[in-house]
C-alpha cells in the first residue's frame, strides 16, 4: 500500500485515512439517499407480499440473497453514520452482542425460550449450525441502534439520565418489534406454536425485553453517547434505516389489515417527522440531479 497504484482497486482509489473513508461513505449514501431509504423498502414490501401471496415465482419468491441484499442496502445509512465512531470499545461491544444474539437465538430455536416455540418458514440465507440465520446481526442490531438514536434525538438533554435513556430505548425497541413480528408472521418468515397478538405469543415480547435490555446496555456501554449525538446532528441520513423500516413493515402490516402494528408504525413515523428525519433534499441525490438538471 506504499504507492498510488497500490491504493487503486478496480479503478477506484482506496481511502488513505478513516476520515477520507467516512467522507466517501457519506457522499455515497447522500447521493443515493432516496433510492436506499424509499425505493428499496417499497420494492421490498411489494416483492415480499408477492412472494407471500404466491404471485412471484421461484426462484424469485423469498429469494434469501435478495432479502439479505435488500436488507444490507437499507442498513447503509446507519452503518455510514456509526462507522467513524467504531473504536476498540464499540468493536468489543458489537462482538459481544453478536455472540449473544446467536446464542439466545439458538436457545430459542431449540427450547422455545425466551421467545416461545417458533419455526422459520422462509430461508433467510446461510444458517449457523443449520439452525440460526448467519445474517442475524444484520437483522437485529439496527433495530436496537435505531431505537437508541431516535431516543437521543427526541429526549435531547433528558437522555443524559441513564435510567430515562435506557428505559425509553427499550420501550422503543418493543414498539419496533410490535410492528416487525406481526408483519413477519403474516408473510410467513416464521411461525409461532401459540399465536396470540397477530400470530405472535405474548411470551415473545417478554423475550424481547430480555434480549433488548442486553442489546441496549451493550450499545450504551460501547458507544460514545456524545459522539453519537454530534454525528446525528451532522448526518441527516443516519436514521434513514428506520424510515425504511416504517415504510417496509408498516406497508406489509397495512396490506394484511394489522391495524395495531400499522398504528405503531405511524407513531414511529411521527417521531421521525418530529426530528425532521423524513426531510429529504432530493436535489442532493442522483435521482434529484437527473430530474432537475
What tens digit of pLDDT does each residue of 137-190 get?
A: 999 999 999 999 999 999 999 999 999 999 999 999 999 999 999 999 999 999
Among candidates 226, 244, 242, which has minimal Cα distance to 275? 242
Instruction: Tell me whether residue 71 is in a domain.
Output: yes
pLDDT value of residue 157: 93
Round the CA-based radius of gyration of the chain to a whole number and report it: 19
12 has a pLDDT exceeding 80? no
Using pLDDT thresholds of 50, 70 and 90, give the confidence band for residue 11. low
List helix spans (H) across 83-201: 88-111, 136-155, 162-187
Task: Give the Cα separation of 176 and 144 in Å (integer).
Answer: 9
- Torsions phi, psi for 119 (to 5 deg): -135, 145
Instruction: Tell me whether residue 144 is in a domain.
Output: yes
Instruction: Tell me whether residue 5 is in a domain.
Output: no
Range of the structural domain that residue 61 is part of: 14-292
Instruction: Tell me whether residue 118 is in a domain.
Output: yes
Using pLDDT thresholds of 50, 70 and 90, give the confidence band for residue 280. low
Q: What is the pLDDT of residues 208-243, one digit of tens each?
A: 999 999 999 999 999 999 999 999 999 999 999 999
Q: What is the pLDDT of residues 41-79, one digit of tens each?
A: 999 999 999 999 999 999 999 999 999 999 999 999 999
Instruction: Tell me whether residue 278 is in a domain.
Output: yes
Instruction: Tell me whether residue 1 is in a domain.
Output: no
288 has a pLDDT exceeding 70? no
122 has a pLDDT exceeding 90? yes
Instruction: Tell me whether residue 3 is in a domain.
Output: no
pLDDT value of residue 1: 44
- What is the pTM (predicted TM-score) of this model? 0.91
pLDDT value of residue 5: 47
Using pLDDT thresholds of 50, 70 and 90, give the confidence band for residue 15. confident
CB atoms within 10 A of CB 202: 11
Structurally, the chain folds into a number of domains equal to 1
290 has a pLDDT exceeding 60? no
Using pLDDT thresholds of 50, 70 and 90, give the confidence band for residue 284. low
Task: Give the Cα separation of 137 and 132 in Å (integer).
Answer: 11
Phi-psi region of 7 (alpha: psi -120 to 50; beta: other; left: phi over 0): alpha
Instruction: Tell me whether residue 4 is in a domain.
Output: no
Amino acid at each position: 500500500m506504499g504507492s498510488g497504484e497500490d491504493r487503486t482497486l478496480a479503478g477506484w482509489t482506496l481511502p488513505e485515512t478513516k476520515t477520507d473513508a467516512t467522507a466517501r461513505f457519506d457522499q455515497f449514501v447522500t447521493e443515493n439517499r432516496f433510492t436506499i431509504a424509499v425505493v428499496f423498502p417499497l420494492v421490498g414490501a411489494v416483492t415480499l407480499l408477492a412472494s407471500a401471496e404466491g404471485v412471484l415465482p421461484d426462484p424469485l419468491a423469498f429469494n434469501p440473497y435478495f432479502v439479505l441484499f435488500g436488507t444490507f442496502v437499507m442498513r447503509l445509512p446507519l452503518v455510514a453514520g456509526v462507522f467513524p465512531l467504531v473504536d476498540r470499545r464499540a468493536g468489543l461491544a458489537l462482538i459481544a452482542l453478536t455472540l449473544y444474539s446467536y446464542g439466545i437465538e439458538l436457545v430459542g430455536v431449540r427450547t422455545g425460550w425466551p421467545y416461545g416455540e417458533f419455526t422459520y418458514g422462509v430461508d433467510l440465507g446461510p444458517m449457523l449450525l443449520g439452525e440460526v440465520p448467519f445474517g442475524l446481526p444484520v437483522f437485529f442490531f439496527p433495530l436496537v441502534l435505531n431505537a437508541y438514536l431516535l431516543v437521543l434525538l427526541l429526549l435531547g438533554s433528558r437522555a443524559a439520565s441513564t435510567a430515562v435513556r435506557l428505559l425509553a430505548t427499550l420501550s422503543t425497541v418493543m414498539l419496533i418489534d410490535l410492528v416487525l413480528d406481526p408483519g413477519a408472521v403474516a408473510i410467513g418468515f416464521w411461525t409461532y406454536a401459540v399465536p396470540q397478538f397477530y400470530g405472535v405469543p405474548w411470551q415473545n415480547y417478554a423475550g424481547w425485553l430480555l434480549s433488548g435490555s442486553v442489546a441496549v446496555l451493550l450499545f450504551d456501554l460501547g458507544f460514545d453517547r456524545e459522539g453519537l449525538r454530534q454525528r446525528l446532528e451532522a448526518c441527516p441520513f443516519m436514521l434513514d434505516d428506520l424510515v425504511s423500516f416504517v415504510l417496509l413493515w408498516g406497508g406489509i402490516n397495512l396490506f394484511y389489515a394489522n391495524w395495531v402494528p400499522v398504528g405503531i408504525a405511524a407513531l414511529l413515523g411521527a417521531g421521525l417527522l418530529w426530528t425532521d428525519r423524513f426531510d429529504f433534499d432530493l436535489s442532493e441525490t442522483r435521482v434529484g440531479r437527473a430530474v432537475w438538471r
